Amino acid sequence: MTLVSRQPEKIAPNLHWEEINTVLLDMDGTLLDKHFDDYFWEQYIPEHYSLLHDLPVEEARRELLSRYRAVENTLDWTDLGYWSNELGLDIPELKMRINHLIGVHPYVIEFLEFCLGRRKKLYLITNAHSSTLSIKLEKTSIGPWFDRIICAEEIGLAKEDERFWHRLEETLGFDKKSTLLADDTEKVLDAAGSYGIGHLIFVARPSSRKQVRYSEHYPSIEFFKELIPKTTI
C-alpha cells in the first residue's frame, strides 16, 4: 500500500503593511521559477556527467544527488566553481545553454511595484553564487527593482545559518521587527525567525512543474498577489 503524504492546511498570510518597512526576497523558487534549477541539477547535469564517465544516467543521478546532499545548506552547494572542479564540467557554460528556462513567477513584478509604491526598502537576498546571479539577472532584468542585492558568499554564510541574519542586519541596517522575508525554504525561515525577523512568508509553489506544498509553521502563498491588498490590485 502506498502512503500519500498529507498536505498541510494552508496558513493564510495576514500582513499589516504599515508595520513593515523592509522586504527581503529570496530569488530561486521565490521570485524565479525553480523548474530551471531542478531540471539543471537533477536531469541536465546527470546527463552530461554520465557521458563524461560512461555511466547510465540513473546511476549518475544517484551519485550526484548524494554529493549534493553532502553539502546542502552550505556555500559549496551554490558555488559554481566548486561544482565545476568537483564534476569536471563547465557549470556556468552549461547553465547558459539552457537559460531559456529561466523565468519570473507570475505576479512578481506587480508585487515589486506595490512595494515600491509603498516606499518599502527592497532587497534581494540569495544563496545563489554570484555567477548564477549574473546569468539570471541578465535573463530576467529584475535587478533594478532592488535597493541592493546580497549573495550569501558576500556574508560568508548560508541563509540557513542564524548568524547570516545577524551579519545581514549589520550590513543593511534594517529593523528586524519591521522586516518581511519571503522564501521557499523552511530552514531559511527557521533561522531568520530564530534571529527575530518579524514577518515570515513561505512560498509554497517554487516550481511551476511541481505540486504546491504549504508550510505547517508559516503563512504560505502560491503567488505574490496574495500579499497585495485587494484594494490596490
| pLDDT single digits (tens) 108-165 | 999 999 999 999 999 999 999 999 999 999 999 999 999 999 999 999 999 999 999 9
The predicted model scores a pTM of 0.93
pLDDT at 6: 75
Closest CA to 8 of 171, 219, 226, 233: 219
Cα 69 to Cα 65: distance, rounded to the nearest angstrom? 6
pLDDT at 8: 86
How far apart CA 63 and CA 56 sit, in angstroms, is 11
Residue 160: which of 135, 118, 125 has the closest Cα?
125
CA distance 46 to 63: 9
Is the separation of the CB atoms in 227 and 111 below 8 Å?
Answer: yes
Residue 5, pLDDT score:
62
pLDDT score recorded for residue 149? 98
* Helix (H), strand (E) at residue 29: none
Q: Are strands 121-126 and 199-203 parallel, antiparallel or unpaired?
A: unpaired
For the chain, residues with pLDDT lower than 50 are: 1-2
Q: Dihedral of CA 112/72/43/93: which sign? A: positive
Which one is the CATH code of 17-33+102-232: 3.30.1370.60, 3.40.50.150, 3.40.50.1000, 3.50.50.60? 3.40.50.1000
**Residue 97's pLDDT is what?**
97
**Range 44-81 burial, b when 16+ CB lie within 10 A, else e:** bbbebbbeeeeeeeeebbeebeeeeeebebbbbbbbbe
Q: Where are the domains of the chain?
A: 17-33+102-232, 36-100
DSSP string, 156-206: TS-TTSHHHHHHHHHHH---GGGEEEEES-HHHHHHHHHHT-SEEEEES--
The total of other beta-carbon atoms located within 10 Å of residue 127's CB is: 25
Please say whether the beta carbons of 23 and 122 come within 8 A.
Answer: yes
pLDDT at 7: 80
